[in-house]
Structure 1
Amino acid sequence: MPLPRFAIIVAGGTGTRMGAGRPKQFLKLQNEPVLLHTLRRFAAPALGVQRLVLVLPADQFDVWQELHAQYAPELQHEVVAGGATRWASVRQGLLQLGEQTEGVVAVHDGVRPLTPLSVIENTYAAAEQHGAAIAAVPPKDSVRGLSATGSYALDRSRLRLVQTPQCFELGLLRRAYQMPELPTFTDDASVVEDLHPIQLVQGDYCNIKITTPDDLLLAEALLRHT
């Protein structure tokens, strides 16, 4: 029998780099909030996600409640307050799943609204088989590292650009998040990797993270052609 599936959507942005006066997850993308596009991906019946947990700053609850009621009152999900860092926010999402004893949980950026369902499905499936799996793509550009005397070329065939979702066996992710937070924790894979190998799944170049105004324009263009 397949393991139960859960999802934690982390949306703690303040919109500073976007310069729009409101959190980027609430900006309009094809006339609906960015965050709503993201949640709908994980609520797709084909994925079979049993619980969808949205992690937001506590001071954004009222705004999201209004947007949810206006655009998608039928969308079932749970909302919990995040922490001061992404690590703390994911930990809060895991606590919300406290009564669950087994399953696979996806952690996903709330401002990645274009993730193909195939990427989400493949990452869940790989995590069910291997325990930990993340979406990633090869870099398209040449890449250089920095040194004290200048820079040096890196072999981009050995590099990957990490995306979300990042999926893990529930017990494994819980054990990882029992460790103290470290500055080296840049994503969930970096929290887990000391406990378990990370399987890479082919991501998608359309799976962009909306951070700047240019990203929003690109997302609009991509949606028009899908």
Structure 2
Amino acid sequence: MKKFAVIVAGGSGTRMGSAIPKQFLEVRAKPILLHTVKAFIEAFQDIQIILVLPETYLESAKSIFENLTPSASLSFVKGGATRFDSVKNGLASVDEEGIVFIHDAVRCLVTPDLIKRCYQHAAINGSAIPVVPLRDSLRIIKTNGENEILDREIVRAVQTPQTFKTALIKEAFEQPYQTSFTDEASVLGSAGYQVSLLQGEETNIKVTFPADLIFAEHIMSVK
């Protein structure tokens, strides 16, 4: 089955306190974006990778991959105003039946094992959304200012790569954008399809704050 990875790299360095987008920051002397792409190539050498980036950083991204293995299939796509628009732009390059991964570029600790498990799960169930349990206690803040506890046993934190049969997710992205679309699973659910979950990885964090860089450096150093 054909395999595609739409890797969304539209973030900025605001919360990181960086002058450049965080996907271009380095972990172990290599850009975060490069680590992420290599994980997908290691999982599947025949995968087609579609990188979605802000237009002003397309050339910078291309320079990062100049020395990547010639067998790797990479294309570069301009991002949109929202994540929904960016993913939709990336999906426009998916022109065959198969499985498509949609992944945050700054989740550079994703493992080939998780990528393979997502592929196998989506091939059977139509979708594969990696999730992990929450450790902290949770409380809901009500509109009247009151709050109450939420049972953390029934809640999961959602990760990427969110993985789908191509026809399914492309159809879901034909609907108009809604502010409730926080990820691709929410788009699929809004289109009337059931979302299928599988166990994610505790280390598959989204690099957002400076402390996350330290964590990523450590995890990569002990792999």
TM bucket normalised to smaller: over 0.9
- After TM superposition, the score normalised by the length of structure 1 is 0.93
Alignment check: 8 A CA contact 2:6 2:51 kept: yes
- AA partner of residue 196 (structure 1): Y
Q: Which residue of 1 aligns with 2:64?
A: 67
Q: Which residue of 1 aligns with 2:30?
A: 32
Name whichever of 33-42 and 212-221 sits farther off.
Answer: 212-221
Q: Which residue of 1 aligns with 2:130?
A: 135
Q: Which residue of 2 aligns with 1:160?
A: 156
- After TM superposition, the score normalised by the length of structure 2 is 0.94
1:1-226 equivalences under 5 Å are: 3-44=1-42, 46-69=43-66, 72=68, 74=70, 75-97=72-94, 99-100=95-96, 102-147=97-142, 148-194=144-190, 195-226=192-223
Structure 1 regions of 5+ residues with no counterpart? Answer: none
State the shift of 1:165 in Å. Answer: 0.5
Query: Following the alignment from structure 1 to structure 2, what is the Cα–Cα distance between the partners of residues 76 and 33?
Result: 19
SS in 2 for 1:224: helix
Task: Work out the percentage of aligned pairs sharing the same amino acid.
Answer: 40
Query: Following the alignment from structure 1 to structure 2, what is the Cα–Cα distance between the partners of residues 149 and 50?
Result: 49
Query: Following the alignment from structure 2 to structure 1, what is the Cα–Cα distance between the partners of residues 127 and 164?
Result: 4
Alignment check: 8 A CA contact 2:47 2:73 kept: no
- AA partner of residue 4 (structure 1): K
Query: Following the alignment from structure 1 to structure 2, what is the Cα–Cα distance between the partners of residues 63 and 203?
Result: 31
Structure 2 regions of 5+ residues with no counterpart? Answer: none
Query: Following the alignment from structure 1 to structure 2, what is the Cα–Cα distance between the partners of residues 41 and 49?
Result: 13
- Runs of 4 or more above 6 Å deviation: none
Query: Following the alignment from structure 2 to structure 1, what is the Cα–Cα distance between the partners of residues 116 and 69?
Result: 25
